[in-house]
Structure 1
Amino acid sequence: MSNQSYAHETVVWAKQRLDDVDAIISEAEKNAEKLREDARKDADAALVRLQASRAKLRKYYDALRAEADTVKRGASETQDALEAEWVEVESAFQSFLSAASDQAETVRSVVVARAQAQRQSWEVSLKNLRDQAVDTVEKARGELDAAIKRLTDETEKFQVRIGEAKDAGDESWKAVKNELTDAKVIHDRTIQKIKEAFSKVL
């Protein structure tokens, strides 16, 4: 995966986390008023921590976006420099052809050599792309199918756990929270595998 696509994926991942914490805070703030006084103090303290974490996440997210823009800008600047230098190559090549214009055989041999080099380069690139595409698509298809199946299975389990969470008492609530945490970890890992499979195809 290129630095640019990795930076993009990281920005997307960070945005998802920000959206998660925003939803948590919004819902927690709505429901905090319904809590008993002693529970309310703990909930308010937790909300303060969540808000502090959201501020840090926002800072990291903004830094990631700036870094991704820098990577993109750096690649763009390099591309511009390459294109500018290629203009110089073409200009020098045309100057050479002009200088040798009275030597038809020389011009012909230089133009033919260039055309053959380009053709050979294109054929190698095309073969590599074809080979890579076949391998990558087959491998990614298998990984994607497996990841989607795992995600579907975990989503079904997650839906059941959500139902259990609504009915859970104090004793079982902790166990349900742990299961929800485990499901979230598996979900995140599966989504990452799907992203990796797509990045291999692209």
Structure 2
Amino acid sequence: MSNQSQAHETVAWAKQRLDDVDAIISEVEKTAGKLKDGARVQADAALARLQASRAKVQDYYDVLRSEADAVKGGAEEAQHALETEWVEVESAFQSFLSAAKDQAETVRGVVVARAEAQRRSWAASFNKLREQAEDAVEKARGEFDAAIKRLTDEAEKFQARIGEAKDAGDESWTAVKAGLADAKAVHDRTIQKIKDALSKVL
């Protein structure tokens, strides 16, 4: 995998995290007001932690995106920092769930919103992988078709020269053999590209 494609996958992963924390915060903000007394204080504290972590996640995402766009180093550091901050997001989320444990509908709403955000992110990632695979297969098919056309052209030349002279036959036969070897090499590369493209999707 190239550094560029790895960087873009890391950006997609970071975007999923950002979408996830946004969904959590949105639902927590909607439901924290329904809690009473100590539970409300705990929920507000958890919300503050989530918002602080969200700001850091946004910063890391921005760094990763600029690194991927410039295709330079440092994306691993930003990803590590984001992973570390994600532990804080999960911890704050669990604190909120603990504070809201008596409000089943509230907890359910937050969990459903988070699951929906994750589903959308996964669907977007899958669609992007599918598009990349389709592009790779189409490109490989074009290369294979071009190689087959070259082979066909050489075979036609060979056929036309068969009756002309014995010397020309040897030359043409060499060209056809070279064309067959080229076509086989392109075929093998094409099949490998298709397998690689499909392995990204599966």
Q: TM-score, normalised by structure 2?
A: 0.42
Q: TM-score, normalised by structure 1?
A: 0.42
